């Protein structure tokens, strides 16, 4: 926690632009966590509430709220950062260049990810671009295959078969959803399970279910890593997941069950969801409905993870959680955007490295 905070402080010091809009990320500190001098922190800004002074806040700026002990006296403080703690976490997972160099030396090439996009879905194009960017950031090779909307199922399966056999390709990802005439199940089953960095192949799904090492779907894996990084141990906790999809809810259930959590899954047929969510020590929303989780559904001090990505009427990205009101009750809460999303990319890259190791017997 302390390390993360200092990174945030460095960001504040290096920042000299102007900003507008605000996103708040809240982390409670124990009194003993840090002892600092405010003047040193903000170079002359002595106001303990620096939210408005002298910085205006950028859309991507984050404020870290907490209590600091200064000369034995407790202060409420908000630290402004250009990076969310989650982005910092993502960078931590992705900037393992030393490790990647070592792999390159061992296998004689950098890890390679093949990405297949069918059609022109604008959201899918954005996701694919961010994955290609993630590869570039880390010095991985990426092989993008753009196929027309009317590609036949057999043509797509043949592309996957070629990628399965291609030694340059360590991981294969087919961006979902696919056009209706293509059977997604056949597609994920055709991807070799040893290159299935999305963790959707039934072999990987089954291995996860029985607690064996497998590729884990990147979004649930990102949630698990986030909890680990913040020392939030799910063991013995009441975890409530809203959503039971194959890509989020179900793998999350398996991951957290493997970590000894007591889990309840809610879905569209669940009665009185509020009565269930009110008991959650850790509440995870993967519903796909804007601001579905409201303040009255959350227990005081709960950890709230928002997987949802939705757009409001103005086209702005918002989560499944009413962040503004729920953050007052939560001990930890993830923002949208900038929360689970970046972790998903980070875990994809992590899986590509694992796949490269597996292909090369490391
Ligand atoms: P999905 O396949 O549509 O599943 C949604 C789940 O929510 C279903 O299990 C559904 O129940 C349940 N649900 C829908 N309405 C409900 C209601 N009124 N009450 C209770 N449960 C309800 O969605 P998904 O693919 O899991 O994605 C969920 C959200 O996460 C979406 O916003 C998606 O964009 C986002 N997402 C984000 C990332 C990321 O990287 N951050 C990755 C993947 C997905 P039934 O099963 O009964 O229909």
Give per-residue pLDDT as tens, 102-141.
777 888 888 999 999 999 998 899 889 989 988 887 888 9
60 is catalytic: no
- With a 6 A CB cut-off, is 310 part of the ligand 1 pocket? yes
Q: Is the pLDDT of residue 305 over 60?
A: yes
Pairing of strands 317-318, 23-26: unpaired
Tokens standing for 192? 């070799």
Q: How far is the CA of 323 from the centre of ligand 1 (A)?
A: 17
Which of the residues 196, 198, 306, 322 is marked catalytic?
198
Which of the residues 175, 196, 299, 322 is marked catalytic?
175
DSSP state of 148: -
Q: How far is the CA of 243 from the centre of ligand 1 (A)?
A: 5
User: 160-169, 262-271, 353-362: which range is least confident on average?
Assistant: 353-362
Rounded Cα distance between 31 and 39, Å, is: 19
- With a 6 A CB cut-off, is 341 part of the ligand 1 pocket? yes
**What mean pLDDT comes out for the span 146-155?**
98
198 is catalytic: yes
* Beta carbons of 299 and 333 less than 8 angstroms apart: no
- With a 6 A CB cut-off, is 219 part of the ligand 1 pocket? yes
User: 88-97, 290-299, 311-320: which range is least confident on average?
Assistant: 88-97
Q: What is the signed CA dihedral for 241, 244, 245, 250, rounded to 10 degrees?
A: 80
Maximum mean pLDDT: which of 54-68, 81-95, 344-358:
344-358
- With a 6 A CB cut-off, is 222 part of the ligand 1 pocket? no
Q: Helix, strand or coil for residue 143?
A: strand
Rounded Cα distance between 361 and 95, Å, is: 23
Q: What is the pTM of this model?
A: 0.81
Which of the residues 26, 90, 131, 250 is marked catalytic?
131
Using alpha carbons, list the distances in angstroms from residue 191 to 116, 174, 197.
Answer: 11, 9, 10
Q: Identify which of 245, 271, 293 to mutate to test ligand 1's pocket (most ligand atoms within 8 A of the CB).
A: 245
- Element housing 279 (H / E): none
Tokens standing for 10? 């460095």
Identify the residue with better confidence: 126 or 163.
163
DSSP state of 60: T
Tokens 């002990």 belong to 69
Q: Binning pLDDT at 50, 70 and 90, where does residue 26 land?
A: very low
131 is catalytic: yes
Which of 254, 251, 240, 256 lies closest to 320 in space, CA to CA?
240
Rounded Cα distance between 37 and 70, Å, is: 6
């Amino acid at each position: 926690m302390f390390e993360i905070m200092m990174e945030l402080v460095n960001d504040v010091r290096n920042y000299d632009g102007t900003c507008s809009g605000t996103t708040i990320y809240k982390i409670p500190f124990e009194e003993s966590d840090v002892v600092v001098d405010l003047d040193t922190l903000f170079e002359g800004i002595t106001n303990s509430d620096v939210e408005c002074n002298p910085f205006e806040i950028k859309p991507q700026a984050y404020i870290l709220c907490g209590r600091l002990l200064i000369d034995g006296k407790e202060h409420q403080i908000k630290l402004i950062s250009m990076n969310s703690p989650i982005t910092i976490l993502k960078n931590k997972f992705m900037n393992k260049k030393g490790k990647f160099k070592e792999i390159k030396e061992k296998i004689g090439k950098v890890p390679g990810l093949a990405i297949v996009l069918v059609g022109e879905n604008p959201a899918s194009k954005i996701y694919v671009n961010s994955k290609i960017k993630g590869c570039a950031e880390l010095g991985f090779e990426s092989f993008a295959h753009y196929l027309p909307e009317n590609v036949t199922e057999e043509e797509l399966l043949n592309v996957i078969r070629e990628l399965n056999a291609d030694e340059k390709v360590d991981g294969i990802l087919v961006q979902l959803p696919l056009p209706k005439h293509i059977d997604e199940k056949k597609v994920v089953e055709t991807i070799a399970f040893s290159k299935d960095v999305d963790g959707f192949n039934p072999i990987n799904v089954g291995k996860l279910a029985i607690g064996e090492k497998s590729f884990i779907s990147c979004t649930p894996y990102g949630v698990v890593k986030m909890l680990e990084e913040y020392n939030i141990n799910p063991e013995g906790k009441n975890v409530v997941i809203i959503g039971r999809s194959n890509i989020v809810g179900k793998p999350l259930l398996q991951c957290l069950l493997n970590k000894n959590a007591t889990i309840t899954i809610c879905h569209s047929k669940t009665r009185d969801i509020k009565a269930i969510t009110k008991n959650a020590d850790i509440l995870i929303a993967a519903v796909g409905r804007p601001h579905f989780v409201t303040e009255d559904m959350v227990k005081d001090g709960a950890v709230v993870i928002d997987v949802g990505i939705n757009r409001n009427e103005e086209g702005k990205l918002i989560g499944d959680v009413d962040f503004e009101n729920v953050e007052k009750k939560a001990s930890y809460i993830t923002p949208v955007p900038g929360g689970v999303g970046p972790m998903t990319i980070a875990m994809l890259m992590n899986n590509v490295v694992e796949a490269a190791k597996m292909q090369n017997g490391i």
